[in-house]
Structure formats: structure tokens, C-alpha cells
A and B are shown apart, each in its own frame.
Chain A
């Protein structure tokens, strides 16, 4: 058992060194529940000063590990002290490197809002612009845009709370719309919003393609192949 003051932030929050922001915020929430001022579970166990110290320490750990820059610097500190193993240095640097690229920055921070950065990336990418110039969209097109932006499906799933199996079905054009066109539309909107596209345009173009496909023939109508 280590004294609280001697624990480093990862120990304190009881998370792995490579914990994601989501893990960290979850761990913090759980511990805060345990130590907060009006917590029934720890009532009378700590004196006022002790509790405040613990809460302050937790708060510090949380805000450090949630901030990419501060976390990187903190990791370096731990490596210098020999707490974090040497090979972690590579990972810490790697993380810093990945941070440099805006698209990957988005992967590391799934909680991020749509930034101007992302919008600029979309505007400057010729492949994306070409796909967006058509008036219909297939799942394959959406997948290509997503990959161009370097955003993983898992991240979209995490943000939109849509199950990855549905997201994959949208991209594979296998979403069975018969019973759930409503769902598909709202999923499409959330998906589009998540990767910085106009929700209505994407949803309409995607559904339009499906409708056309139904009307004409079962053969593929993929403009990307043209």
C-alpha cells in the first residue's frame, strides 16, 4: 500500500499507462463518486482536510492526463524518474508525433468537437471534393472520405454512440432499410456530422442513391466506378 502522495497519476486513477481519455475520464468519475464531499460510502472515514487533499490530487491527475500536452510532459517526467519503462519513451514520442498531424489528432481525441481544422482539411482534399461533387453518395464513398480524414470507425462509434456494426453496414451498403429508414437517416446524419460533413446533404444523397437503385435495377449503381 502506497501513500496517496507517493502515487503517480496512473496509479492514483488506477489506469494503464496507455489508457485512452475515455478510460481516464471513466476512472476519474468512479473515484470522484467515492471521495466527493457528500459521498455516503466514505462518510466519516476522512477528516475534512484529508478529503480535500485527496480530491485536489485526483483533480490534478485528471486534468494532467486528459490534456495531451501535459500528459506528454508528465510521461517524460516519469521516464526520467525510471517509473515509466524506457520503451514507453518511444510510445510517448510517437504519440507526440501523431499529434502533429491534424487528422490523427482527431483520432487521439475522440471527444473533440468539429474544428475548423477538420473543415479546412475537407476543403483542401481533392478526393473528398470530387466525391462531394456528385449528387448521390454510396457507403463506399463515405468510407473513402472517412479514411482520407484518418478517422476510425470506432471513434465515430464512440462519439455518435451508434454500434459499429451499423456503421459498417452503412459503409458496406448492406444496411437493410426496409424496417428502419428513419433510423438509417438519423445514423447517416450523425455519421456525417461526426466527420465534418453537412448532415442533410449526406443523408439525402445516400438515401437518394438507395431509392434510385430500387427503382432501376438490382445492379450496382456506383458512380465511383465510372
Chain B
């Protein structure tokens, strides 16, 4: 079964597609059969990051049921072992998906035969983005060391958190619990997700404990991107501390990626960064993120990638 990692970040321009594309290339070169999915339906561009300029098929063929099997929209890329489901040439109204569509897509994704599946999600906190996190139970968040980016990161995580609890509470098993919680504290389920769990604990400690367990089962990771020299390198672990302390989510810091002007150059030259700038700090940083993804899943150390493999 494939390991599915949705990659999001709240704010636009934090490097979600850049990270997805380049980490995907590294995983593929390490010998893992890797699939990238451009789930940024509103503004797809992952194909450009990895150097595939004219994707022939795209995710919308699957949504419009022109093809029934998701495998049929998978494209080969210039890199061996790396495959892409592009979001390009989507119909322009495809950015809004019904919940059932998302379920169908995720079910189809989970049936695909790959080692790693990385999903590049859109910025913002639309249900499109959030549901890919809540449904897959895992996620990599990309954030820049700037207040605006951090603000949006928290907003995204809180949205995922709240939506998950709402899903659980709406199901019949939890319904009576919600009612009791709401009668005691009106607005509690809507206002502060953190408060919600405490309220539930008072009303019904047993069920609240179950929800807490489900939330703790989330596998969340954090990457700080575009870290400049003057930035605090421990920022990522501090953010993780806040989230673990106040939301009881399992959030693991995966590392910093240095800021580099050449990322811009690489994009303009339309060649994947890790191929063009093999010996840059950014490539080293990306490699440790890729290693973190692999290690986190197998729970054991994997030999470091050698330069030739990248």
C-alpha cells in the first residue's frame, strides 16, 4: 500500500509545489515508485516544477468520468520511477469538489500501486484542501518564517482539526454528545476547537478520550521553507510545541530549507532544482526532508542518499 502525504501550508507561495516536486524526484531516484498528484485544482503548476510542460491528461478527466480508472490519467515524467497526475488543463470550474467526489478520488488513490504518493494541495482553507488532510490522516505542512505564513498555517491546522471533530460528532455515535456539549456551552463547537475538546471531556470523558485518540493518530509534519540566515532555526520545533500542547495533535518538525535565490533561476530555466543545483544547501535540506518521510513511515533508519543517486 502506498504512503499518501498531502502537502499544504495555508499561505500561497510558501513552496508547496517546489517541495512536492523536488522531494518526489529524490524519492524516485532513491528507487521508490513515486506518484505526484497536483491537487491544487485552482492553480495547478506541479508539472512545470518537474519539467513536464504539456501534460496530456489531467485529474479533471477523472472527475468528469471521461475515464473511470485513475490509473489512466497517470503520466510518465522525464525522471524514471516518477509519475504525475497533473491538474493542468482542468476545466475552470473544477476547483470546487463535492465531498463524495473527494472520497471517490481518495479511494481511487489508495488503490494505486506506488510506494509514495505526494499530493500538492492548494493554499487557503477551502474544504477541498482540508478534506484531503482529514481523510488521509496525514500531512506535511510547509511554512515560511514570517508572521503572515504562520498565521495562515495555524488557521489551516485549526480548520483541519475542527472539521475532523465535526465529522466525528456528526456521525450518529457522537451525535448525542454534541447536543449535550452544545446545550451546556452554546457556540462551543464553532468558536474554539481547543475549548471544544475540554467541553466534551466534561460531558463525556470516555467519548472525548476516543476523539482525542483519533486526533492523536494524525501524522502531521512541518517543514520551514525559505529560512534566511537571520531567522531563528528553532522556530519549527517551537511551532510544533504549540500545536502539540494546545491541540493534542502529533506534529513533527522535519527540518528547515534554506533560502536560495537560485530557486527562482531554476524555475525560470524550467529545470528541476535538485537536478540543476546538485550541491546546494537547499538540495541537502530537501534530501533530509525526503529521508524524514521515508524514516517516519518505516520507523527505522535508512542509509543516507549518496550524491550520485540524486
Asked whether any CB of chain A lies closer than 8 Å to the CB of B248, the reply is yes
**A40 B212 Cβ-Cβ under 8 A:** no
B161 shortest CB reach to chain A, Å: 12
Q: Which residue of A lies closest to B248 (CB)?
A: A1
Interface majority SS on A: helix, strand, loop or mixed?
loop
B245 shortest CB reach to chain A, Å: 8
**B145 A43 Cβ-Cβ under 8 A:** no
**B150 A1 Cβ-Cβ under 8 A:** no
Asked whether any CB of chain B lies closer than 8 Å to the CB of A90, the reply is no
- Cα–Cα, bound, A43→B143 (Å): 13
Chain A positions 110 through 139: 1 when the CB is less than 8 Å from some CB of chain B, otherwise 0: 000000000000000000000000000000
A198 shortest CB reach to chain B, Å: 43
A41: contacting residue among B198, B239, B246, CB under 8 A: B239
**A40 B145 Cβ-Cβ under 8 A:** yes
Chain B positions 138 through 151: 1 when the CB is less than 8 Å from some CB of chain A, otherwise 0: 00000001010011
Asked whether any CB of chain B lies closer than 8 Å to the CB of A3, the reply is yes
Within 8 A of B (CB), among A11-57: 33-34, 39-45
Q: Which residue of A lies closest to B195 (CB)?
A: A3
- Cα–Cα, bound, A39→B248 (Å): 21
Give the size category of A's interface with B.
10 to 19
In the bound complex, residues from chain A placing their C-beta under 8 Å from that of B154 are: 44-45
**A43 B150 Cβ-Cβ under 8 A:** yes
30 contacts between A and B (CB under 8 A): A1-B212, A1-B245, A1-B248, A33-B238, A34-B238, A34-B241, A34-B242, A39-B238, A40-B145, A40-B147, A40-B150, A40-B232, A40-B235, A41-B150, A41-B238, A41-B239, A41-B241, A41-B242, A42-B238, A42-B239, A42-B242, A43-B147, A44-B147, A44-B150, A44-B151, A44-B154, A44-B155, A45-B154, A45-B242, A45-B246
Chain A residues within CB distance 8 Å of chain B? 1, 3, 33-34, 39-45
